[in-house]
Structure 1
């Protein structure tokens, strides 16, 4: 059995991850969400944002076994107050340490697009201080991705805690530096290193991102490339360490 992660400590930055779980299906195969849970347990993150983690037609039907996630990874789902019967929001799901403090109830953001896309915005403290999380999944079309990035920046600026450090993570479906969505986000979050995560069995496209504001928060970006991860989804998870700036 893989044990729960150790408690937060001042000498260790948060370990975070983002992972498109392909609706619980391997690159070629049947619905096997238990493989996703095992990959998450391998990583043992303090926080992970998942995409394609809900049944499109039955969002009230949980895709992942929360008892297994709690037992083997020490994580719980961050549910929206107005949707307590759903694990996530528009296929996004955020899992956090069981001892995480939720400073403001998470919000589900509609960001447009023909696909069921959206974002989860939350204010959290996992033991290193307060920060804002934006977990999202962008569309396939470049013009839609640009508008979705603009919508997220507007939500970030409108928040009551607008001065909080912000962690943006998810599948942005964008691999070109300065292209559509990244062209909107990079003036605020800086240029994100390109770490290939897609396709999982032989990655060469950097579709997934972990970005921080202010600069310098996010370090150690890497793909979680293991035999299990290559079989579980068509994306590899992207992981990083996050060190929050000292409060002003």
Structure 2
């Protein structure tokens, strides 16, 4: 109330009393409103930390007819309006199937986004002096990536190497963790061991955390039940319908997911109706509390 008394003192004894009275009443009204609002008013004025995320298995940029068109992937990401995107099956100088292009870097530059890449397969080049042939996952982000790390997941002797790509993002002054993975498609037992490794990493996170990816497992499976002991499957919370993501031409399974930890609220989930890969992208609008 100090500024109320300041307003009265500033007016003093004057012939313009009406004007002073108006200043005093206005100040008193403002002070009363602030007192009634309390601390919650200050927090309400802080801009929201809304983030739209997407997961998309891009099948190294080829469509269901196996025709390469990476720009279709870029256009889909662009039109989705997603802020953070987890991509699976991303080539880097890998093979003729993707024309030996560094797809991760190409997409990041084409879209003007920050990039983190997780190398799961790292092979010698076909010709000496060429870049190493890499295959894995990528994270594209409108927000700065302050740290990233790829963890190779357990596999059998015959299984393909899989990984968990982690990125810490700074969203309007708030840090949160974004994880992207692609689990083994041939063995449920192998997926269980991979999920156990992922859970260990998730349990060690003290940040609001989002896990996305192609888990090659349906919602009723033991693998998904294990993930949801700590994280929430956002589709039942914020989506409508069956949420099928595979395959893109005749969707019949939900195997692509966005999971969220406490402190992250799902507001809307949507499977995009496009067939530019063998999977359909999953887009989810989130709020970081």
| TM-score tier after normalising by the smaller chain length | 0.7 to 0.9
Instruction: Give the superposed CA RMSD.
Output: 2.9
Partner of 1:173: 216
- In structure 2, the gaps of 5 or more residues are 1-45, 123-130, 237-241
| Higher-RCO chain (CA-CA 8 Å, sequence separation at least 6) | 1
Partner of 1:50: 87
**Residues 203-231 of structure 1, C-alpha deviation per residue, up to 9 Å, x if partnerless?**
12111000100175223111011xxx21x
- Native 8 Å contact 1:19 1:235 kept in 2: yes
- Native 8 Å contact 2:55 2:283 kept in 1: yes
> Is 1:63 aligned to 2:103, yes or no?
yes
Partner of 1:117: 162
> Is 1:208 aligned to 2:249, yes or no?
no
Asked which structure has the greater CA Rg, the reply is: 2
> Is 1:15 aligned to 2:48, yes or no?
no
Structure with the larger helix share? 2
- Native 8 Å contact 1:143 1:180 kept in 2: no
Which of 40, 62, 71 matches 1:25?
A: 62
**Residues 9-62 of structure 1, C-alpha deviation per residue, up to 9 Å, x if partnerless?**
934621110000011110113222121111111112111000001258469840
> Is 1:151 aligned to 2:197, yes or no?
yes
Q: How many residues align?
A: 221
- In structure 1, the gaps of 5 or more residues are 1-8
- Native 8 Å contact 1:75 1:95 kept in 2: yes
- Deviation of 1:76 after TM superposition, in Å, equals 2.9
Partner of 1:101: 144
**Residues 76-135 of structure 1, C-alpha deviation per residue, up to 9 Å, x if partnerless?**
32247xx9xx9xx851011011xx2333x2011101231231110121113262111111
TM-score (norm 1): 0.78
Report the Cα distance in structure 2 between the residues aligned to 1:102 and 1:241, rounded to whole angstroms.
19
Distance 1:219 1:139, change over 3 A: farther
